[in-house]
Each structure stands twice: as C-alpha cells, then as structure tokens.
A and B are shown apart, each in its own frame.
Chain A
Amino acid sequence: MKIKTLGFIAVIVAVLSVAVPYTALGDIGRFWASYLYWTFLTCITIIIGYLHLREWGDKR
C-alpha cells in the first residue's frame, strides 16, 4: 500500500468518524449504533494497518 493511499484512507476515516455518528447514528440509544460503529472503524483500521505492516521487511 502506497503512502498516498494511506493518506487518502486517513482523510476518509476522518470524515466517516465524525459524519456518520453526527448524521445517522447519534439519536439511536443502542450499543449497536455509535458505540459499535466507532469500535468497528477502529478494528478496520487495525486490519488495514496489519495488512500494510505485513509487507514491511528489509530489502537490502
């Protein structure tokens, strides 16, 4: 994954992490709403991070 792709992901995640809870989930008083959404978004980031880090290794 290139650095530009990661930067692009960061911008998308920034928008999604605020826009979705404040427009679609904020009024729902359930764990599956904002709470699970933010937890899920964090899990997705960890998976993306893992997939990227897996490619790291000394090429010399």
Chain B
Amino acid sequence: MNPLYIAIALSIWFLVGVVIAYKAREYLGKGMPEFFLANRKLSGFISGMTYSATTFSAFMMVGLVGLTYSTGVGAVGFEMIYIIFTILFLIIFAPRFWVAGKKYDIITPPELMAKRYNSKWVGVVSSIICLTMLVPYASVQMMGVGFLIEGMTAVSLPAFEVFGVTVSTLYLIGVLLVAGFSGISAFWAGMRSVSWTDAFQAIIMLIASITLVIFVFYSFFGGPAGFVTEITTEHSDLLELNWDLSMFIGLTLPWAFFALTNPQVSQRMFVSDSVKSVKQMILYFSVFALVYTVITTLLGFSIAGIGFEIADPDTAMPVLLGNVPVVLALIVFVSIFAAATSTLSSVTLTLSSLGSRDLVKKVKPSISERTEVLSGKVIIILILLSCIVFANLRLDMIAVLSSMASGGLLVMAPTIVGSFFWKGSTTEGALSSMVIGGIVTAFLYLAGAAHYPLGWWPSFWGLLLTTAIFVGVSSFTERPEGTEEFLNEVEESVKEHGMI
C-alpha cells in the first residue's frame, strides 16, 4: 500500500485523538487522584470502553488472528476462557476494589495490597514485579504496529545497525508512532485523556473489525454460509483441538487471572463514579469482549479459508489487508493502531502511577502531590524509551510474549485473592510467595521450553508454587495489624452500596 495513504489515515486519526485529549485536559484538576484516576468520576460508558480498549490490544487483530490461522480453535478457547474469568472476577472483586479505593484514597493496586497487608514492602515488591513484567507486554503493542507497517507498506527502506541490533526503518517508524501517540495521550491529562481517547478507539476497533469480517465473508466466500462450508470441508483440522493440554493451560492460566494481576486493568476498578457505573463497566466490557473475540477468531479462520500462504502467523493480518480495498484496509489499520495505542497509554500511565506512588513516594514520603505527579510524568518517558529498545529486539511470537508477561504477574494472584477472602493471609506469606514465586517463574521462562518440569509451563508451576508458599507461610505467621478492621470495613461498605 502507498505509504501516503497510511500517513493520511493516521493523521486524521491523530487529529481526532488530539482534539479529544485536549477537551479532556480542560477538565483536568490538580493532584494524584485527578491525574491517575480522573478523580474517580468516570461514567459507566467511558469506564466500560476504557476497560475494553485497555484489555484488548494489538494482540487481538494481529496476534490472535495469526494464532487462530495457524493453530485453530484452541486460540478461541484460550481467549473465551479469559473473557469468562474476567467477567466473574470483575463481579467478585470490582466492588471491593472500588469501595476500598474510595475509603482509603488508594490510587494503585499495589497500594491497596500495601494497605491490606499493613506493609509498604508488599506494595514495593508488587510494583517492581509489575514494572518488570509489563515492559515486554507494552513493547508487544509497539511490535504489533511495527509488523503491520512493515507488512502493509509497499516500499523498502534500508535497515541499519544500532549496538549490534539490526533495525528496520519502517518497523522503527511504526514503533515510534505508537510510542509518540501513547505518550501524548498519557502525558497530557492522565487518566481522563487516556479514558476518553480509549472510548473513541474502542468504537473504532469494533466498527472496523465488524466491517472487515462482513466484507471478507461476502467477498471471498459468497456469504457466512459459504465461509462455514469452506472451513468445515477444506480446513476441518483447524476446528479440531490440536493444542497440547500443557500449552493450553500454560497460555490460558495467566489470561484467566489477567483482570486481577494486570494493574492497568485492575486500576480501572477504582475509576467509576457510582455503583451503576461499575455495573455498566462490567456489562459493556462483557458484550464488547464477546463480539470482538468472535470477530477476530473468525478472521483467523477466514485467512486460512482464502488460502493465503503465510510463513509467519503474525503477518496474517497484514497479508489479508493487502487483499481488501484500500479504504477498508486503512480503517482496519487505524483500528489496530488504536488498539495498540490505547493499551500502551494505559499501561504507561498505570506503571507511572506505580513508580511515583509505590516507589518514589515510599523512598521519600515528604514529597508533595505536585512532585509526585511530576515524577509520574518522568516515569512515563522512561517507560516508553525502555519499550522502544525492547520492541526493536523483535523477540519471538507476539502471543507467547504477551502471555509470558502475564505469567510473571500471575505470582501476585494468591496475594490479591487472599487480601479480600482469607483473614489468615499474612505479610510474610504475601512477600515470600511473590519474591520466590517470581524468581522461580522468571527462571523457568528463561530456561526455555526444553527445561519445563514434566513439560508443564512456568505459569502453571508459578501459580502452584506461589499458592503453596502463600498458604504455608501465612499459616505459620501472625496476621498483620488491622486485618479484621480492613476486611470488616470493606465488606460493610460493599453491603451498604448494595453490591452483593
């Protein structure tokens, strides 16, 4: 495709995004809750859309489409189980996060853990885990756009070397574009501009994907019936479950707990303005997630049905877009760009809140709120720079990389679940499970698939080990001061708000 078309489409999208972010800035007040949580004043619609756009990234239209194209229906199960557990966890945990956030003026999920376990170190350790694991995940968003621009642009620009790493010019342009747009969105007005632009981007993502699947069905298969016939007769192997069980569990487990362990989404449980908005957030997300997942997986099957020969599954979507009308390809391209940007800006903003609130503020408690916000902004820049470097290393497949990041975050699951539902959970249990579990999980990932014990993935062993340590150590140590009070206050407030 002519790069000029891509530049025009992105410019239009950028202008609309900037106008929305600028309008959001007009409402920006002062202080940490304002910058990082939009002062807990988001409506149900905006909460639902920012949750959806943050959760669903470039992975859906690039990684999941490619994964379905290459490995079939296992990819559908992997994603659907994620949706099922996100809905259930939101219903169970969103009321507790929401009331605790308001009651104790909590900004970040690690801060909530620190309050519950009465230990700043619980907050510090979980923040370090989040910062370490989410940089690769955020980089994946940039990689998605980099692959897309490389695959869609019919020009070749010379590659160059930086510190021994070969960098493709077009890929780098994609990476820098998504980093720049995300930076502006997060930097300008914090959560308010990120959530407003997220809502705009979520709508683009949905409309573009629906339009594409309808076009593909009618243009390549003569309609939905033709598509079903083609896949069931010529590609029925893709409808058979050919994922090895250990791979299925290994990839699915981290995603099942995604809503709790990924701070960029769990922080969104703090932002709604009322019980009604929390309720709407969950419902809007549920419908969005189901529709978007059905569409993306059908697109994966479609690419196999059309018969494109594709060596690298991550390039399946760019290949498809090279075979549809330019206008449609551009709309879909912008929607993928939007998905990547919305996730990246949310991850960046959340990580910067973790850095300033749970690390900088803990090291120097005397700093003012203004300095806290300023340190958050500096962290936004540092995170984006780290992601740019990571993205240019171009490591392995997008899907596996995303899941590895979530696999690392999974070590926090017992601590988070225990904080609301087990009085006996202790600070020592939380710290030892996260530290030992984190080190072992990271070690297993680095050791590689050949060294996975009994062939089971690190996420499986990580969760098993952290749960055992958490329960074991908690059983032999004293519960922290204020446990009963915290749990009673939260449960009472949940009841008072009728969220039970």
Interface residue B239 (Cβ < 8 Å from any Cβ of A): yes
Q: In the docked arrangement, what's the CA distance between A26 and B85, Å?
A: 22
Is B84 touching A42 in the complex (CB atoms < 8 A)?
yes
Is B231 touching A31 in the complex (CB atoms < 8 A)?
yes
Within 8 A of B (CB), among A1-50: 2-3, 6-7, 9-10, 13-14, 17-18, 21-22, 25-31, 33-35, 38-39, 41-43, 45-46, 49-50
Is B241 touching A30 in the complex (CB atoms < 8 A)?
no
Is B500 touching A3 in the complex (CB atoms < 8 A)?
yes
From known contacts A3-B92, A17-B77, A28-B240, infer whether A53 and B279 are also in contact, taking CB-CB under 8 Å: yes
User: Interface size on B (CB < 8 Å)?
Assistant: 44
From known contacts A30-B236, A35-B73, A41-B80, infer whether A58 and B88 are also in contact, taking CB-CB under 8 Å: no
Report the minimal beta-carbon distance from B140 to chain A, rounded to whole angstroms.
Answer: 24
Within 8 A of A (CB), among B282-333: 282-283, 286-287, 290, 293-294, 297
Q: Please, which residues of chain A bring their CB within 8 A of the CB of B293? A: 42
Q: Please, which residues of chain B bring their CB within 8 A of the CB of A43? A: 290
Binding site secondary structure of chain A: helix
Is B232 touching A13 in the complex (CB atoms < 8 A)?
no
Is B80 touching A39 in the complex (CB atoms < 8 A)?
yes
From known contacts A58-B275, A60-B496, infer whether A45 and B84 are also in contact, taking CB-CB under 8 Å: yes
Q: Please, which residues of chain B bring their CB within 8 A of the CB of A49? A: 87-88, 91, 282-283, 286
Closest to A46 in B: B286
Q: How would residues 256 to 280 of chain B score, 1 for a CB under 8 Å from any chain A CB and 0 otherwise?
A: 1000000000000000000100110
Interface residues on A, range: 35 or more
From known contacts A34-B77, A35-B239, infer whether A42 and B92 are also in contact, taking CB-CB under 8 Å: no
Is B498 touching A34 in the complex (CB atoms < 8 A)?
no
Q: In the docked arrangement, what's the CA distance between A53 and B91, Å?
A: 8
Is A38 touching B88 in the complex (CB atoms < 8 A)?
no
Report the minimal beta-carbon distance from A9 to chain B, rounded to whole angstroms.
Answer: 7
Q: Please, which residues of chain A bring their CB within 8 A of the CB of B275? A: 56-58
From known contacts A6-B88, A56-B498, infer whether A17 and B282 are also in contact, taking CB-CB under 8 Å: no
Report the minimal beta-carbon distance from A38 to chain B, rounded to whole angstroms.
Answer: 4
Closest to B237 in A: A29
Interface residue B228 (Cβ < 8 Å from any Cβ of A): yes
Q: Please, which residues of chain A bring their CB within 8 A of the CB of B286? A: 46, 49-50
Is A28 touching B239 in the complex (CB atoms < 8 A)?
yes
Q: Please, which residues of chain A bring their CB within 8 A of the CB of B241? A: 21-22, 25-27, 34
Q: Please, which residues of chain A bring their CB within 8 A of the CB of B500? A: 2-3, 56
From known contacts A6-B91, A17-B81, A56-B499, infer whether A42 and B290 are also in contact, taking CB-CB under 8 Å: yes
Report the minimal beta-carbon distance from A26 to chain B, rounded to whole angstroms.
Answer: 4
Q: Please, which residues of chain B bring their CB within 8 A of the CB of A52? A: 91
Is B76 touching A35 in the complex (CB atoms < 8 A)?
yes
Is B77 touching A30 in the complex (CB atoms < 8 A)?
no
Is A31 touching B239 in the complex (CB atoms < 8 A)?
yes
From known contacts A56-B499, A58-B497, A59-B497, infer whether A34 and B88 are also in contact, taking CB-CB under 8 Å: no
Interface residue B495 (Cβ < 8 Å from any Cβ of A): yes
Closest to A59 in B: B498
Most buried by A among B88, B92, B236: B88
Is A39 touching B294 in the complex (CB atoms < 8 A)?
yes
Is B248 touching A18 in the complex (CB atoms < 8 A)?
yes
- Other-chain residue from B81, B95, B238, B498 in contact with A38 (beta carbon distance below 8 A): B81
Q: Please, which residues of chain B bring their CB within 8 A of the CB of A26? A: 240-241
Q: In the docked arrangement, what's the CA distance between A55 and B498, Å?
A: 8
Is A34 touching B73 in the complex (CB atoms < 8 A)?
yes
Q: In the docked arrangement, what's the CA distance between A9 and B91, Å?
A: 12
Interface residue B245 (Cβ < 8 Å from any Cβ of A): yes
Q: Please, which residues of chain B bring their CB within 8 A of the CB of A57? A: 275, 498
Interface residue B398 (Cβ < 8 Å from any Cβ of A): no
Q: A21-B77, A31-B228, A49-B282 are in contact. List 13 more A-B contacts (CB 8 A).
A: A14-B81, A17-B84, A26-B241, A29-B236, A30-B232, A31-B231, A35-B73, A38-B77, A39-B76, A45-B87, A46-B287, A49-B286, A59-B497
Interface residues of B (CB under 8 A from A): 73, 76-77, 80-81, 83-85, 87-88, 91-92, 95, 228, 231-232, 236-241, 245, 248-249, 252, 256, 275, 278-279, 282-283, 286-287, 290, 293-294, 297, 495-500
21 contacts between A and B (CB under 8 A): A3-B92, A6-B91, A18-B248, A22-B241, A22-B248, A29-B237, A31-B239, A33-B73, A34-B73, A35-B73, A39-B80, A45-B83, A46-B286, A49-B88, A49-B286, A57-B498, A58-B496, A59-B497, A59-B498, A60-B496, A60-B497
**Which 6 pairs from chain A and chain B are nearest by CB?**
A29-B236, A26-B241, A38-B80, A59-B498, A29-B239, A57-B498
